[in-house]
Amino acid sequence: MSASASPEHLANFSGRKENIQRKSNHLQHPRRSAKRSHVARGQLVLSFVLGCATTLSAADLSLFRGEQLEFDMFYKGIKAATSRMQLQVDDAQTKITWHVESRPFITLLFKIDNRYEAILSDDGMLLQVNKVIDQKNIQQQLTIDYDQKSLRATANVCSTWPITDDCNHVLSMFYDLRGRSLSAGDSIHYILDVEGQLWRLSGTVEAHRDRAGTLDILFHFSPVMDIRDRLWKTDLLTNRLAHGQSTLFMQLGPQQQPLLIRFGDEKTPVEMRLIKR
């Protein structure tokens, strides 16, 4: 996925930071006072997660600076879209952008022209996520700011929720995984924030049967806390990413090439095959 989201498309995402007041530990309804026992259980779960989850590694993400990846995307076995991804490092920040665009014949049926952006600090902490969505059934501009001190995320749709200090976006997880030194048998864990829903990913690394130097990694999803319905509608790909029955499969070739990515459930899988690096 090679092209980053253009400044024009992201002009509304100015990188502003909102002061976040940490009033409670419940997810999306700060006016509702949770019972103490519920809060205590939530804090215990988060504490457990913090102790077990993978934090962004010290791997030098600048190794991927300027790299442009392009994928063919398949939905239910049909080549439906192309996507491009790029990582940029500047001003003590790392910006990862992803552009997904439906193929011409698919556009006639279901247009997709979606841009995603994750901004990380120089030490790999998630700072902000931006989306510009233009697909058949939804047009959306979404910004989520992550405050690692108060451990809360705030979206520009009047919603806030608790996070862990090691939570990732799927894009930051993708590059962090590529930057690691992996071996068959390794166990890997991540916490993903998927627009207000915290999911724990647990994966195991296996050597590919036929391709020397290629690793297969299969992740399973489990909720960190109770998963609540969002107060807003989300895009097709985000909606497919994380469910209780979802899996995320990555195949990394020599030099950490992301040869194949597959996510979703068995009935509606989304598959990405690398065609250019």
Residue 228's pLDDT is: 85
| Contact present, 26 and 46 (Cβ < 8 Å) | no
Confidence of residue 50 (pLDDT cuts 50, 70, 90): very low
User: Over 60: is that where the pLDDT of 46 sits?
Assistant: no
At 53, the pLDDT band (50, 70, 90 cuts) reads very low
Which residues share a beta bridge with 87? Answer: 65, 96
* Separation between Cα atoms, residue 271 and residue 269, nearest integer Å: 6
**15 pLDDT band (50/70/90 cuts)?**
very low
More confident of the two residues 15 and 182: 182
Instruction: Report whether pLDDT(16) > 50.
Output: no
Whether the predicted pLDDT of 268 surpasses 70: yes
pLDDT at residue 182, as a whole number: 92
Span 139-185, pLDDT tens digits = 999 999 999 999 999 999 889 999 998 899 999 999 999 989 899 99
Q: Which two tokens stand for residue 37?
A: 């026992």
Whether the per-residue pLDDT at 32 is higher than 50: the answer is no
Does 52 or 194 have the greater pLDDT score?
194
Kindly indicate the confidence band of residue 52, based on its pLDDT and cuts at 50, 70 and 90: very low
- For 194-214, what is the mean pLDDT? 91
Could you tell me the pTM of the whole model?
0.77
Q: What is the pLDDT of residue 110?
A: 95
Tokens for 227, please give them.
């998963």
Local confidence band at 122 (pLDDT 50, 70, 90 cut-offs): confident
pLDDT value at 28 more than 60:
no
112 backbone dihedrals φ, ψ, rounded to 5°: -135, 125
8 Å CB contact between 46 and 39: no
pLDDT of residue 23: 36
pLDDT at residue 44, rounded to an integer: 43
**Average of pLDDT values for 180-195?**
94
Predicted pLDDT of residue 142: 96
Instruction: Write out pLDDT tens, residues 97-108.
Output: 999 999 999 999
Burial class (CB in 10 A: 0-12, 13-18, 19+), 185: exposed
* SS3 label, residue 189: strand
Look up residue 134 and give its two tokens: 């233009």
Instruction: Over range 75-86, report the average pLDDT.
Output: 95
